[in-house]
């Protein structure tokens, strides 16, 4: 008989690699699903598992309490292995290799998240920072406390949130963006255009079409010859799935580095699952494979993986992606998934203090971006989930509730 046939149907030991939101929530979801075996949660950081969104906001400014999750892992009978780096996966032996020795598993959940992209040539340059971990925030806090001149490389979500915090701390901030508008990897130019003005309103300088040539201690040199003084540099040019340790393991990875999970978050290897920022999944709703680097995905996916592990059955994982960002005294929310082929439709104008953009595909609502209009977001998210067709004329009228625009 094969190993698969002789192995107990119910796994006795589940190992979760990664102790962020996705990993911690997987441990919780396993117990909620009635899993009675042993659970081991392995995290590379020495800290108790914690929430990441406050890092670019209150934690950075020193105004937040401990961001650790309010989870009693001892009561859940979850063994925490913190400060442990996982270095490889040997599926034939059902073990993960760590810097403290191998750990065996019956079922394995990959929840290693994403890692920030490093600006080439800056790895050993003093004063260059990333913002992904609690230790990153701790290293950046003195920068803000001393009101250094700061250069932010990248006008994405992290760049905007860090700029907001740095300006609140009294820092002079220059933001350098290689594209011609902020959030170029997420939003079209006509939608992001009003967001560019938010930088100037805050007192920050935003330079677009500006490429970094090199960074030296105390300065950032641009490709066009300009030199920008920098007491500190924050690099926020994106993130990639933290999956390099899986190379050579036999697990299927996509061209973006993500673990290619199926619709129930199973991977290409038996009894191995993937959740959160490190995993992509097929979305029938949007007709493509999605890689979602946001908190809500890390919160929702674990229940699907836990159900698959515990019962062998799981609902199809096909959520409406959602995220939010607090920047420049504005609350920005997005739900759904749009492509360049979808048609943007404005509710209000970018000159209004609050506005919404909807994306339509053949009349069906695919995504909603709401700035200061949380009701639009709540209603729009439900409409996207329902695959609702929208009356464009009614949807464009900000005085009409968005749900009333459904046909």
Question: What are 155-165's pLDDT values in tens digits?
Answer: 999 999 999 99
pLDDT in tens, 196-242: 999 999 999 999 999 999 999 999 999 999 999 999 999 999 999 99
Same domain, 99 and 244: yes
| H or E stretch covering 368 | strand 364-371
Residue 35 lies in a domain: yes
Predicted pLDDT of residue 311: 92
Predicted pLDDT of residue 371: 97
Residue 325 lies in a domain: no
Is the pLDDT reported for residue 6 higher than 80?
no
Whether 26 contacts 53, CB under 8 Å: no
Residue 316 lies in a domain: no
Same domain, 356 and 273: no
Contact residues for 165 (Cβ-Cβ < 8 A; gap 6+): 56, 57, 60, 61, 144
Task: Give the count of domains, the chain.
Answer: 3
Q: Which of 200, 235, 270 is the last residue of a domain?
A: 235
3-state secondary structure at position 187: coil
Burial status of residue 72 (CB atoms within 10 A of its CB: 0-12, 13-18, 19 or more): exposed
Predicted pLDDT of residue 63: 74
Query: CATH number of the domain that 208 lies in?
Result: 3.50.50.60
DSSP state for residue 119 in the 8-state scheme? P
Same domain, 136 and 285: no
Same domain, 110 and 244: yes
Same domain, 7 and 110: yes
Residue 175 lies in a domain: yes
Residue 197 lies in a domain: yes
Same domain, 137 and 90: no
| Residue 317 confidence class, pLDDT cut points 50, 70, 90 | very high
| H or E stretch covering 89 | strand 86-90
Is the pLDDT reported for residue 284 higher than 80?
yes
Closest CA to 13 of 89, 83, 77, 87: 77
pLDDT in tens, 18-56: 999 999 999 999 999 999 999 999 999 999 999 988 877
Same domain, 134 and 103: no
Residue 324 lies in a domain: no
Is the pLDDT reported for residue 8 higher than 70?
no
Same domain, 11 and 62: yes
Is the pLDDT reported for residue 62 higher than 80?
no
Query: CATH number of the domain that 392 lies in?
Result: 3.30.390.30
Is the pLDDT reported for residue 7 higher than 60?
no
Q: Which of 217, 235, 253 is the last residue of a domain?
A: 235
Q: Which domain covers residue 152, as residue numbers?
A: 128-235
pLDDT in tens, 293-302: 999 999 999 9
Same domain, 75 and 8: yes
pLDDT in tens, 241-250: 999 999 999 9
Residue 73 lies in a domain: yes
Same domain, 144 and 282: no
Q: Which of 311, 340, 355 is the last residue of a domain?
A: 311
Same domain, 66 and 134: no
Residue 296 lies in a domain: yes
Same domain, 102 and 155: no
pTM of the complete model: 0.94
């Amino acid at each position: 008989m094969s190993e698969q046939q002789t192995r107990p149907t119910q796994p006795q030991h589940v190992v979760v690699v990664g102790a962020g939101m996705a990993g911690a929530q997987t441990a919780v979801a396993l117990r909620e699903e009635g899993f009675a075996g042993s659970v081991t949660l392995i995290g590379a950081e020495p800290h108790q598992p914690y929430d990441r969104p406050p890092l670019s906001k209150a934690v950075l400014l020193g105004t937040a309490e401990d961001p650790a999750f309010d989870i009693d892992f001892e009561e859940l009978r979850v063994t925490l292995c913190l400060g442990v780096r996982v270095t490889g996966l040997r599926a034939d032996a059902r073990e993960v290799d760590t810097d403290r020795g191998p750990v065996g598993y019956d079922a394995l959940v990959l929840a290693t998240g994403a890692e920030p992209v490093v600006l080439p040539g800056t790895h050993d340059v003093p004063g260059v920072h990333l913002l992904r971990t609690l230790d990153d925030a701790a290293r950046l806090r003195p920068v803000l406390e001393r009101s250094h001149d700061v250069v932010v490389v990248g006008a994405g979500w992290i760049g905007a949130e860090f700029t907001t915090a740095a300006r609140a701390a009294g820092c002079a901030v220059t933001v350098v963006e290689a594209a011609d508008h902020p959030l170029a990897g997420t939003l079209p130019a006509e939608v992001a255009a009003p967001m560019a003005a938010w930088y100037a309103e805050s007192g920050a300088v935003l330079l677009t079409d500006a490429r970094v040539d090199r960074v030296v201690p105390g300065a950032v040199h641009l490709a066009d010859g300009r030199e920008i003084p920098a007491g500190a540099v924050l690099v926020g040019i994106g993130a990639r799935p933290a999956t390099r340790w899986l190379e050579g393991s036999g697990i299927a990875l996509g061209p973006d580095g993500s673990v290619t999970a199926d619709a129930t978050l199973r991977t290409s290897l038996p009894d191995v699952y993937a959740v959160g920022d490190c995993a992509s999944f097929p979305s029938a709703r949007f007709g493509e494979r999605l890689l979602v680097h946001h908190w809500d995905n890390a919160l929702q996916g674990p229940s699907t993986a836990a159900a698959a592990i515990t019962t062998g059955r799981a609902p199809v994982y096909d959520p409406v992606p959602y995220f939010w960002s607090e920047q420049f005294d504005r609350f920005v929310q997005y739900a759904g998934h749009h492509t360049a082929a979808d048609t943007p439709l404005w509710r209000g104008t970018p000159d209004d203090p609050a506005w919404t953009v909807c994306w339509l595909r053949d009349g069906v609502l695919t995504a909603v971006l709401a700035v200061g209009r949380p009701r639009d977001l709540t209603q729009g998210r439900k409409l996207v989930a329902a695959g609702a067709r929208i009356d464009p004329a009614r949807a464009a009228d900000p005085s009409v509730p968005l749900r009333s625009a459904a046909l």
